Structure 1
Amino acid sequence: MTVPGGDGGETSSSARNHRRRPEPSPTQRALGLLTRREHSRKELARKLVGRGVETAEAQATIDKLATAGWQDDARFAQSLVRSRAAVGYGPGWIRAELGTHGLGAEAVSAALASFEDDWAGVALDLVRRRFGDAGPLDITQQRKAADLLLRRGFSIEQVRIATRRE
């Protein structure tokens, strides 16, 4: 069978297939994902299976990569805590998100404990970004700020600190 080529000539089907890249191995697929950002075991397995890798083969690949240090749930959790805190999410929200990644309560607690910043300071930074350096000026703005912080997973005490007027 011949297929029209881009130069007006005809190209055989076998010649066209010869130019294709070989299908990446499950390890290559996983490494491609891990070089972009950290992934939890659960997330990496879901993505590999979604790309056509058998479940057992995906688990074996992840085990191999974890042993080699390429995949680490603790490192993933710490990375997620830092990135979410940087955009203004509190520990409650982050704890819930880490839970969706199949991490146990101990791993989640350890990741949150490793956060070196002050959660009240993160809340205050978010309030300042939303309401300006002066912060919420009246009771209506204070309520809006408090609602925002509570939705973002901050504790009542962190909300009080971030919304009080100086």
Structure 2
Amino acid sequence: MPNDAQDDEFEVGPKPAAPRPGLSLKARAVGLLSRREHSRAELERKLAPHAESAEALAKVLDELAQAGWQSDVRFVQGWVHRKAPAHGLARISQDLRLQGVGSEEIAKVQAELKNSEFERAKAVWSKKFSQRETPLSTSEYAKQGRFLASRGFSMDIIHRVLKGTSDHES
């Protein structure tokens, strides 16, 4: 009868690899930031499961911000640049709030975009419906209004676009 000690010497199959330590918080953060800009709140949410403590996470985020690798201002600029041509103020503001951007930054964005709201709504409407005249039926008017509302444009802007009034008329 074979000895138990002998069985241990002749294990079949590969040995399990030793657990490899995970990436540091800073390495994970830099990896995320190398793909695209992140708001501080978004980065914090993504890194929290890997952090030993909230203090360690805050320290890493502070270091990244101080070094210029993470910037909420840069995040907001990029977000607005991508989203503004297709969305209204309400949608952009809501999206930024969901990304953890502060109300001061959101107010700045609203002030910057307010003057171009009508032109952006008109461009979105023209691209989608490819017609230059106003909608004829009430169901078509409602359909087009819902579309613009879903993009975050205000009711005042929607009415002006669908009635075919210019930006300076009321």
TM range (shorter): 0.7 to 0.9
Where does the alignment leave 5 or more consecutive residues of structure 1 unmatched?
Answer: 5-10
Q: Larger Cα Rg: Structure 1 or Structure 2?
A: 2
Residue number in structure 1 paired with 2:156: 157
Q: Which residue of 1 is the match for residue 73 of structure 2?
A: 74
AA aligned opposite 1:123: A
1:90 to 82, 88, 91: 88
Distance (Å, rounded) in 2 between the aligned partners of 1:108 and 1:40: 13
RMSD: 2.6
CA distance in structure 2 between the partners assigned to 1:127 and 1:156 by the alignment: 14
Render the CA deviation track for 1:98-140: whole Å, top value 9, x for unaligned: 1223322211112334459822222122212321233653132
Query: What's the TM-score, normalizing by structure 2?
Result: 0.76
- CA–CA distance in structure 2, aligned partners of residues 75 and 120 of structure 1: 25
Query: What is the TM-score of this pair, normalised by structure 1?
Result: 0.78
- 8 A contact 2:145–2:162 mirrored in 1: yes
Superposed counterparts of 1:50-129, under 5 Å? 50=49, 52-54=50-52, 55-86=54-85, 88-115=86-113, 118-129=116-127
Contact 2:117/2:157 (<8 A) preserved: yes
- Does the CA-based 8 Å contact 2:135-2:162 persist in structure 1? no
Aligned length: 154
SS in structure 2 of the partner of residue 24 of structure 1: coil
SS in 2 for 1:103: coil
Letter in 2 for 1:104: G
Query: Where do 5+ consecutive residues of structure 2 fail to align?
Result: 1-7, 166-170
Distance 2:62 2:12 in 1: 44
Kept in 1: contact 2:89–2:113 (CA 8 A): no
State percent identity of aligned pairs: 32
